[in-house]
Chain A
Amino acid sequence: AQKITQTQPGMFVQEKEAVTLDCTYDTSDPSYGLFWYKQPSSGEMIFLIYQGSYDQQNATEGRYSLNFQKARKSANLVISASQLGDSAMYFCAMRGQDTGRRALTFGSGTRLQVQP
């Protein structure tokens, strides 16, 4: 079984500052993938960043970077230079070894509010 834990129900950050959203995971699969999605109030799920368990380097996508610490089973999302439009729910998710047919397992989410 897979489990994703996000311990921060809500976070505040000042505009233009960086923020880290925590995510820890548990799985018995030797190969897995970790994702971060953003969900604004409209409800759509927007893919932000992906990290494979065998990737040697931490993933980066623009202002988003993933701090992957495999031994600690953590995959924290770092958002640099926060913008007002970053205010949303953020979900950490995981897929197991079988990429073809298995769904993603989601954490409980963190609500980020960016303050001007």
Chain B
Amino acid sequence: GAVVSQHPSWVICKSGTSVKIECRSLDFQATTMFWYRQFPKQSLMLMATSNEGSKATYEQGVEKDKFLINHASLTLSTLTVTSAHPEDSSFYICSARVAGINTGELFFGEGSRLTVL
């Protein structure tokens, strides 16, 4: 159980275009999902907290108009990178908690590797 699926796994786009990444909880409901970004050989940095039915909470330094997050249902959160530029090339990974697992463990999607040309 507790499977988080992310799509697409790989995406290459031209500079200036927008890219949407989906994160789904397959066998549980996730009221809160977390989006992380990971640059090569670096750690995971929290970008934003996605809350079902309300606005996302962004970390300091993350542009909310550039990284649009929508959490319209209890099983789906989307991250849209708008007007992508080469510096946005990174590994984006989502995660969610399962209600009732009190440790606070996060279950992660497979990640999406974005390359902006």
Taking beta carbons and an 8 Å cutoff, which residues of A are in contact with B?
33, 35, 37, 42-45, 47, 50, 52, 91, 95, 99-109
List B72-98 residues whose CB lies under 8 Å from chain A: 91, 93, 95, 97
Q: What is the CB-to-nearest-CB distance from A29 to chain B, in angstroms, rounded to a whole number? A: 12
CB of A44 within 8 A of CB of B108, answer yes
Task: Report if A43-B110 is in contact (Cβ < 8 Å); known contacts: A91-B44, A106-B43.
Answer: yes
Q: What is the CB-to-nearest-CB distance from B29 to chain A, in angstroms, rounded to a whole number? A: 14
Task: Report if A99-B46 is in contact (Cβ < 8 Å); known contacts: A43-B110, A43-B111, A45-B93.
Answer: no
Across chains A and B, the number of contacting residue pairs, with CB separation under 8 Å, is 57
Q: For the complex, what is the distance from the CA of A52 to the CA of B105, rounded to whole Å? A: 11
CB of A43 within 8 A of CB of B97, answer no
CB of A45 within 8 A of CB of B95, answer yes
Residues of B within 8 A of A101 (CB): 32, 49
With A52-B103, A99-B102, A103-B46 known, 11 other A-B pairs at CB within 8 A are: A33-B103, A35-B105, A37-B108, A44-B110, A91-B44, A100-B97, A101-B49, A103-B36, A103-B106, A104-B104, A106-B43
Majority secondary structure, A binding face? loop
Residues of A within 8 A of B103 (CB): 33, 35, 50, 52, 99
A selection of 21 A-B contacts at a CB cut-off of 8 Å is A33-B104, A35-B103, A42-B110, A43-B91, A45-B95, A47-B106, A50-B103, A50-B105, A52-B103, A95-B104, A99-B102, A99-B104, A101-B32, A101-B49, A102-B104, A103-B34, A103-B36, A103-B46, A104-B104, A104-B106, A107-B43
